[in-house]
Amino acid sequence: GVTQKKKLPDGQGMQAEEDAEFVGARVEAGLRAARFSSPPSSEEFAASIEPKNVPAVFRGVLNGSAASSRWDPLHGGLDYLLEKVGPDVAVEAMMSSTGHVFYGDLRSHERVSIPFSTFMHSCKSYLGGLNAADDSSKDKGIGEEPTCSEEMCSASLENSEQLYLAQVSILNTENKERCSLEVLKEDIQEPIFLKGRPFSSINFWMSRAHMRSSTHYDPHHNLLCVVAGCKKVTLWSPSASPFLYPMPVYGEASNHSCVSIEEPDYSSYTRAKYMKEYSERVVLNCGDALFIPEGWYHQVDSDDLTIAINFWWKSRIMTEMLEHMDAYYLRRILRRLVDTEMDKIAQKNSFSHAQENNGFQPTDKALRRSEQFNLHNEVKSHDTSDKKGATDTSDKKGAPLQSLEPSTLQALYELMSLVHDSVEAVDQNNIAESASQDTSSSQSIERKKIAADDSSLLEKDPVAKIILPVEPLELRSMLLAMVHTFPRTLEGLVLNILGPTGAEILTRKFDEMDQQTTTEEQTEFYKTFYTAFDDQYAAMDALLNRKELFSFQVFQSVLDQYLRVHVDRPS
């Protein structure tokens, strides 16, 4: 008998590895599609599935429906649809200029009006070719197509493989005149779990031969139901948008990705090489349904003679979103994206540094320093003359240098090296003044720069790299030791050397310290910490200004990832 295994020219069949479902390595557990062996109740869908805005696969949704039993091309469905719709109904089809791949951009396809019966005859012809191929020797390939009817010949057979009945209306609440296949609604049984949903539209989809749709998202919730054949759907969360390069928001195909699904240009779309890691593929067979929440990107592969219907309806959040609140929502969303990106930078780099420091080994520079002079000599040579009252305080409460962990001592030496190498020739009495002048000018320069990515933010800030792996309470001990023993070095570090990322990491460490200490200990620490500065307000300003500069750099990165890619026209 006829099966739906491909007998297509090379390059048009699905690759073997695409036949299976998979979940990309970077897909968060909470964003993976849920699987249901049977359709849920209306109450369950409304309470625990739809509100999560995460895809869900339901098996057997259309089992027993008139559509699933009558439309199957392998069991007389084409003749049934021909008779049901009639010979005079015209439908709008997509004609691709890129072979079996259908891209949403109007430059890649055109909408053409054809008789529904013409497309059905084309499918019958193709099915006859598959039958002939099954009956002939395997090395002969697809046999010649049977002679077509006069009606069939009114359309070019050369283009029939490039035709796709996409989004042909069965129901359209906004435009009833567009419902060219309204008669098919009689065969469709509304899934019980969608009961009461105000559908925007119900649509008919059918492919003659294997075809692929481009990666895109829809502005409505979507239930995609396979009536006959098989569809393989690859999904991406809206948060994966930076890797998909959506077209500009002002364009006519703004919900489609710029990245080719067959020949991606990674030189132009560098982040796209990580697309697969953030994706999940599900396989839908006859009777299965997939809930695709609004905003979720999806790319669909359809087997030969696959028929599907889909239900679109507005989400609750879009229904209730008031236009006069849009500017506020935009600010809130941007703020949340910035906060999330800042957290990702700190967490990711903290993890990588922890990995690197598992087998701690002091650097050669630190070893040379420790060999050349002991801590008491270090105090005398660098700081005892810098600040009145700064003496060897190794016996003082809370900050003995000898009590520091080796890795913390290593970090201290590296910080001191940074300061001494950078400000050795600077008049120490002008540190606070020069820092105050430099902060605003450096900010104006830095704000013209756009951070390329989160790793570059860290790489450009040596202080951040040094203090990031240090445990909060160990950093607290180290800073107190610097206050008592190397106060000028600490002052120079904060006012002259600390960069935007370092300021963010340092203040995050302060927050972590606060969580692990009492209120009294916190008060005492900050009181002691700021005694290292001639002008405490200059120190506070330096930290706050550089934290804001870090936020600005991350904001620029967010614009690049989430917004600029939505408004810039691809080159």
Stretch among 249-263, 454-468, 485-499 having the lowest mean pLDDT = 454-468
Phi then psi dihedrals of residue 112, to 5 deg: -125, 145
Lowest mean pLDDT across 135-139, 345-349, 401-405, 480-484: 135-139
Spacing of C-alpha 534 from chain mean position: 47
Name which residue leads in pLDDT, 7 or 188. 188
Q: What length is written for the chain?
A: 571
Residue-level pLDDT at 283: 97
State how far the Cα of 559 lies from the Cα of 208, in Å rounded to an integer.
42
The string of pLDDT tens digits covering residues 415-474 is 999 888 875 545 444 544 444 444 444 444 343 343 334 456 667 788 999 999 999 999
| Residue 388 clears pLDDT 50, i.e. is over it | no
Largest CA distance in the chain: 105
Q: What is the DSSP letter of 155?
A: S
Distances (CA, A) of 264 to 243, 268, 272, 566: 12, 9, 8, 18
On whether the pTM is more than 0.75, the answer is: no
Specify the fold of 34-129+160-318: Jelly Rolls (2.60.120)
The tokens of 423 are what? 């400000």
CB atoms within 10 A of CB 12: 15
Residue 183 has pLDDT above 50, yes or no: yes
Q: Which amino acid is at 430?
A: N
Which three-class secondary structure state does DSSP give residue 474? helix
CA distance 529 to 102: 63
Domain boundaries, the chain: 34-129+160-318, 321-339+403-421+455-564
Quick check: 120 pLDDT over 70? Answer: yes
Using a pLDDT cut of 70, give the percent of the chain over it. 72
Report pLDDT for 298: 97
Of 453, 366, 460, nearest in space to 414 by CA? 366
Task: Please calculate the CA angle 312-315-319 and round it to the nearest 5 degrees.
Answer: 115
The single residue listed with the structure tokens 């109904």 is 89
Token look-up 């049984």 returns 189
CA angle 404/406/407 to nearest 5° reads 105
- Residue found by looking up tokens 């005149």 in the block: 177
Distance CA 119, CA 164 (A): 9
The Cα 414–Cα 421 span in angstroms is 10
The identity of residue 257, as a single letter, is S
Number of alpha carbons in the 13 Å side-chain half-sphere of residue 107: 5
The alpha-helical segments, DSSP class H, found in 357-405 are 364-372, 375-382
Q: Is residue 395 within 8 Å of residue 353, measured between CB atoms?
A: no
What residue type is assigned to position 68 of the chain?
S
Side chain identity, residue 30: G
Residues 369 and 362: their CA atoms lie apart, in Å, by 11
Report d(CA 493, CA 490) in Å as an integer. Answer: 5
Joined tokens for residue 179: 């419902």
CA distance 492 to 534: 11
| Chain-centroid distance, C-alpha 473 | 35
Q: Hey, what are 139's tokens?
A: 């090395």
**Is the model's pLDDT at 363 over the cut of 80?**
no
Per-residue CA distances from 233 to 23, 71, 214 (Å): 12, 22, 11
For position 106, what pLDDT does the model report? 59
Closest CA to 34 of 283, 290, 226: 290
Query: 264-289: per-residue pLDDT in tens?
Result: 999 999 999 999 999 999 999 999 99
Q: Tell me, rounded to whole angstroms, the distance of Cα 274 from its chain centroid.
A: 10
Nearest to 165 by CA among 208, 131, 202: 208
